[in-house]
Structure 1
Amino acid sequence: MEGAIAYRKILFAKSTGAIQIARSRFLQEGYRIPPQYSCELNMFLGEQNRRVSDPAAKEIAKFYVPRCELLARIHV
């Protein structure tokens, strides 16, 4: 449940276009992001800020959404 809450916070932050704020808040609230996932999280947030109609963004989101959810669950 806490992982889902963290994930929603990231989604809310990225929806405002604040990619760095989302990442910072995720870290400030005590969630650990291993170096190998840090780049993926930034890519996920960046792709989510692209237009929804962009087919490439949709494809990338399909991969990163589950990864980000897993990351939130593991590192809560």
Structure 2
Amino acid sequence: MIKVFSVAALLLVLGACGTSLPVAGKLAPAGPPPPPMSGDTIVCPADVKQCPDGSYVSRNPGNGCIFDPCPGARIQ
């Protein structure tokens, strides 16, 4: 009996908040499609590297996806 009361109370609270429960067979509306990408676009992993000074650098798609040099680092 307590479980039934708890479920009923939860449904009432969700209904009062404007939250609807998913209905079988109904899907959320789809968002817009992603923009088209050209065939020559290079996408690098989204990881970053922390430099000794505490700043961060990301991978550079124009340089073979290697990390950009850290500020103040010597370029070899």
Structure 2 length normalisation: TM-score?
0.26
Higher relative contact order (CA 8 A, sep 6+): 1
Structure number having the greater helix percentage? 1
Structure number having the greater strand percentage? 2
Rg comparison, structure with higher value: 2
